[in-house]
Amino acid sequence: MQVDAHDPLERERVDELVARGRAAMRKFAGADQARVDEAVTALAWSIYKPEHARELAELAVRHTGMGNVTDKITKNQRKTFGTLRDLMRAKTVGIIEELPDLGLVKYAKPVGVVAAVVPSTNPSATAVNKAMMAVKGKNAVIVSPSPVALTTSARTVKLMREGLDQIGAPVDLIQVMPEPATKSMTSMLMESCDLAVVTGSQNNVRTAYRSGTPAIGVGAGNVPVIIDETADLGAAAKKICASKTFDNATSCSSENSLIILDEVYDDAIQALKTVGGYLANADEKNLIAKTHWVDGRINRRVLAKDAEVIAREMGLSKTAGQSRFLMVEETGAGPDYPFSDEKLSLVLTIYRVADFTEAIARVRTILDFKGRGHSCGVHTANMDRARQLAETLDVVRVLVNMAHTFGNGGGFDSGLNFTLSMGCGTWQGNSITENLSYRHFINVTHLATTIPEDKPSEAALFGAHWERYGR
């Protein structure tokens, strides 16, 4: 039964959260950069602390049934550490930039109370990631978790609040939606806050954009990766395996399809088998297809589960269950080819193509079906190939010789900033075409003063046009 979006009790609860957030912001308004950075560090430590990272990982796996504890611990710590590195290098209080030649001085200001919608796949890491970015801009944030991950997200928020309390900062800078966190309350929260930032469900993204509040939504992933004839096949296989299997493929950046050039196809498959891949035969492919989707939706019994679990669920052999990931050969993309879709499982789709031109065409058909705007990758020794992808494909990120899960959302050997929320531009109806960062959580005031006149002559601007077409 759909809950009335204007239920007075729910409205009262949302309004109270927002009011407390605004009060906390007023208390924190005078904080200088050092104090802000102290608060951000406290938030980071609340999840990075080893016993907390483990506790939250165990809670997430227990309540969502997705991923695995070891990798979630790594995710909680790695993403938080990387984000803290990025934030400690940024200025967000007072004057943040001076451009004397242009007569401009830029001042950072808070955006206000932020509604942070968090997915079930990353109920702790995403919550802390957004909170750190928001508080870096002296904002308050209200976390709206996935219902199945409410316990984990609520515990995460409690630990963050304890971190703020320890340093004497207003604890209501961080809050969480109370149980039960209904869809209508999330919608009201988006309407009542000053900025909505949504990671996860595309329904929530669309709701945010309809809310009337400035909103940042991110898109769905379905990453295709090319392996060409110049690639280091052993290195590529190791990276793909590490990325695909991390946290049982819960990341939207996880490789979903490999497009392998014919010249190296057999050797690439062997390299993938060597690192733990299992290539399904035609009968096994049918079994996987019948089990992986139920009524057109991913079966939660295989969603982000261990290979042993999904192999048993699908009726596959013991050998398949002992692998690290499953490979399925496919020939097309679109609604009639479900393996071309995002799978959020340890199933990797394999395409065989004649040459690099056909590889690009296949990537395009996959992305046009699902994931356009998000990302793609290539394993190659030919940078011209990588540049060709960047020039011709509608994606925000093209990764070269990288494990996608560890590079797309920021890496210590990647120039992309750390985040768990990746914009996909207008290709997916998103308002940002980059990784979410602190820059999206500040307003900027521009102080402008006069400079020597910078007005070129008419001839300088129109001369070439006049010469070619006349005046």
CB 377 within 8 A of CB 398: yes
Helix, strand, or coil here: 451?
Answer: coil
Q: Can you tell me which residue has the tokens 């010249």?
A: 263
User: In what side-by-side order are the strands of the sheet with 94-99?
Assistant: 94-99, 104-110, 442-448
CB 331 within 8 A of CB 365: no
Catalytic-labelled residue, pool 193, 241, 252, 424? 252
For residues 320 and 439, what is the distance between their CA atoms, to the nearest angstrom? 45
Per DSSP, the residues of 91-140 read --SEEEEEEGGGTEEEEEEE--EEEEE--TTSTTHHHHHHHHHHHHTT-E
End-to-end CA distance of the chain: 68
Q: Which two tokens stand for residue 161?
A: 């609040």
CB 182 within 8 A of CB 5: no
CB 107 within 8 A of CB 94: yes
- Which amino acid, residue 442? I
Phi, psi of 433 (to 5 degrees): -120, 50
For residues 137 and 440, what is the distance between their CA atoms, to the nearest angstrom? 9
Identify the H or E element spanning 395. Answer: strand 395-400
Q: Residue 252 catalytic? A: yes
114 closest CA partner among 139, 84, 78 = 139
Alpha helices, H only, 263-374:
265-274, 282-292, 307-314, 318-321, 356-369
Q: Which amino acids are annotated catalytic?
A: 252
